[in-house]
Amino acid sequence: MSTDLPDVSGISVGILGGTGDQGKGLARRFAIAGHTVLIGSRNEERAREAAGSLSGLAGPVRGAGNAAVAAEADVVVVAVPWDGHRATLESLRAELDGKIVVDCVNPLGFDKQGAYALPVEEGSAAQQAAAVLTGSRVVGAFHHVSAVLLLDPEVDEVDLDVLVLGDDREATDTVQALANRIAGVRGVYGGRLRNAHQVEALTANLISINRRYKAHAGFRVTDV
């Protein structure tokens, strides 16, 4: 596959909703890779606590409110719960203007039979982000990474490909390069934003697979 991706080693990464497991797990891996990481939360105190729990890694981790993180970070990952997704993004339009915004949110419901995909008016969380953040460069990625593995100090390499979706080639290239910064992970272009829904929804299948096989499953793309 093409390896002609930009050097992203110097960029800072902000994580909105960085106190949740997924956001914190990504924060941890980006800090291990040497990035400056900014953990954002509605609650600044919780953001600082989460950042404190990730001290001593190669890159510095700081906590702040979502708006400060959105304004300061070079690339911003959206890892907020689905039910706060739209409102959070609407409140950060100005701060996120012009930036690469990476949506990793999976709109899922849960019942006794497990997880299932929720319908999204815009088609997907990533498309909702693009609809709200008309001035940002929205990319979908990091949907399938297991928070458990990201946070596990025994796991040196995370064994999966990250599908990167978007309509802006420079932005998807940047996010592929960012995914490659996590040991074991490979960023693979996965299609346009209009095909993000199924990648988000596939997380429900991963949950079924994990339950059946007692695994922390991910996907690898073959022949690439």
Interface contacts to its own copies, rule CB under 8 A: 1-2, 113-117, 159-160, 163, 165, 188-192, 194-195, 197-199, 201-202, 204-205, 207-209, 212-213, 215-224
Q: Report the distance separating Cα 142 and Cα 128, nearest Å.
A: 17
Compute the chain's Rg from CA coordinates.
Answer: 16
Of the pair 98, 214, the CB lying nearest its own copies is at 214
Question: Strand runs (DSSP E) across 17-160, as ranges?
Answer: 37-41, 61-65, 75-78, 100-103, 108-111, 114-117, 137-140
Give least dist CB 127 to its own copies, A.
12
**Residue 115 dihedral angles phi and psi, to the nearest 5°:** -100, 155
Q: Which residues pair with 138 in a beta bridge?
A: 101
Tokens of 171: 């932005």
Of the pair 51, 171, the CB lying nearest its own copies is at 171
Give least dist CB 19 to its own copies, A.
26
Of the pair 9, 220, the CB lying nearest its own copies is at 220
Give least dist CB 173 to its own copies, A.
11
Q: Report the distance separating Cα 223 and Cα 217, nearest Å.
A: 19
CA neighbor of 15 nearest in space, from 35, 51, 39: 39
Of the pair 132, 163, the CB lying nearest its own copies is at 163
Give least dist CB 179 to its own copies, A.
15
Helix 21-32 and helix 44-52, axial crossing angle in degrees, nearest 10: 50
Give least dist CB 7 to its own copies, A.
21
Of the pair 67, 207, the CB lying nearest its own copies is at 207
